[in-house]
Amino acid sequence: MRGLDKDVSVVAAARADRAEIERFHTHRYVDRVLHDEARGIDYLDNGDTPVFPGLYEAAASVVGAGLDGLSRVMSGECRRTFQPIGGLHHARRDGAAGFCVFNDLGVVIESLRTEHGVQRVAYVDIDVHHGDGVFYAYEDDPDLIFADIHEDGRFLYPGTGHANESGTGKATGTKLNIPLAPGAGDQTFTEAWTRVVAHLRAFQPQFFLFQCGADGLEGDPLAHLRYSPRVHAHAARSLCHLADEYAAGRLMAFGGGGYNRGNLARAWCSVLRELVNV
Ligand SMILES: [Zn+2]
């Protein structure tokens, strides 16, 4: 792992402006974040997502970093980005959830469409929690190709992502949810991953987003899967190859969750090593 920082350009986060945040979020919700911070309200939701001084600026910087990465990829300055503080996949268009204030992924998806003319986007999520904020925002969108491997919602927050949730209306079949039983490890993941690859190949996306949460690793205090960092390397390598094949290499990776610091380092360095070397 050592020396990886010398193989990448490290860029400071820019802050997204309000109009950019509102490509995904409602005006009313952005107002609420500002007002709740000013008033010192305890939580944006029912007790998961705390308000603190500087909250808006921090959340807007997460979105800004994503948009900065997107513009660098679209300009051809680089093919791939990795944003460790990002991938806040639980936030909804009109509300916070699960530690997530603004959904940087949603803003990037909207920006791909409205600012860059890229319509068919793959969203792949291996965080241990279901990416409900992205899934339900695009459940009926046939051009958002969604694949999510997570711990079964019967045992873990947010309780969604069942195998029969495959998209609605014209989008039926564009979404793949694969819940795993508590205790599942690398072999189960690798078997599930072959289905993700087949799903992505069937739709040939023009751009790849990868939420690579580290909370599926064994020893995470919030969840119950038993991955090793090989899972993250395997998924990252595979997505690099698919992005090269279908999307001129364009791939943005986002750190997502993870509540054991050693696991964060191991999982994210595994991803970054593949992004640099493949
Ligand atoms: Zn998570």
Question: Higher-confidence residue: 143 or 2?
Answer: 143
Question: Higher-confidence residue: 46 or 253?
Answer: 253
Tokens 């808006």 belong to: 56
Residue 3 has pLDDT above 90, yes or no: no
Read off the pLDDT of each residue in 246-258 and give the average, rounded to a whole number: 98
**Ligand 1 mean position, distance from CA 107 (Å):** 19
**What would you report as the CA-atom Rg of the chain, rounded to the nearest whole angstrom?**
17
How far is 249 from 15, CA to CA, in rounded Å? 26
Contact assessment for residue 140 and residue 249, using Cβ atoms and an 8 Å cutoff: no
Tokens of 52: 């603190």
DSSP track, 163-201 = TT----GGGTTSEEEEEE-TT-BHHHHHHHHHHHHHHHH
Q: What is the pLDDT of residue 176?
A: 98
**Ligand 1 mean position, distance from CA 197 (Å):** 22
How far is 3 from 212, CA to CA, in rounded Å? 21
**Ligand 1 mean position, distance from CA 222 (Å):** 8
**Ligand 1 mean position, distance from CA 168 (Å):** 25
**Ligand 1 mean position, distance from CA 48 (Å):** 13
**Ligand 1 mean position, distance from CA 264 (Å):** 12
Tokens of 236: 């990252």
How far is 151 from 225, CA to CA, in rounded Å? 7
**Ligand 1 mean position, distance from CA 91 (Å):** 12
**Ligand 1 mean position, distance from CA 206 (Å):** 26
**Ligand 1 mean position, distance from CA 213 (Å):** 6
Q: What is the pLDDT of residue 1?
A: 53
**Ligand 1 mean position, distance from CA 75 (Å):** 31
Express each pLDDT in 72-89 by its tens digit: 999 999 999 999 999 999
**Ligand 1 mean position, distance from CA 124 (Å):** 13
**Ligand 1 mean position, distance from CA 127 (Å):** 5
Alpha helices, H only, 3-54: 18-21, 27-39
**Ligand 1 mean position, distance from CA 87 (Å):** 9
CB-neighbour burial class of residue 44 (10 A; exposed 0-12, middle 13-18, buried 19+): buried
Read off the pLDDT of each residue in 94-101 and give the average, rounded to a whole number: 97
Read off the pLDDT of each residue in 247-264 and give the average, rounded to a whole number: 98
**Ligand 1 mean position, distance from CA 275 (Å):** 21
Tell if the pTM clears 0.95, that is, is over it: yes
**Ligand 1 mean position, distance from CA 96 (Å):** 15
Express each pLDDT in 133-179 by its tens digit: 999 999 999 999 999 999 999 999 999 999 999 999 999 999 999 99
**Ligand 1 mean position, distance from CA 130 (Å):** 7
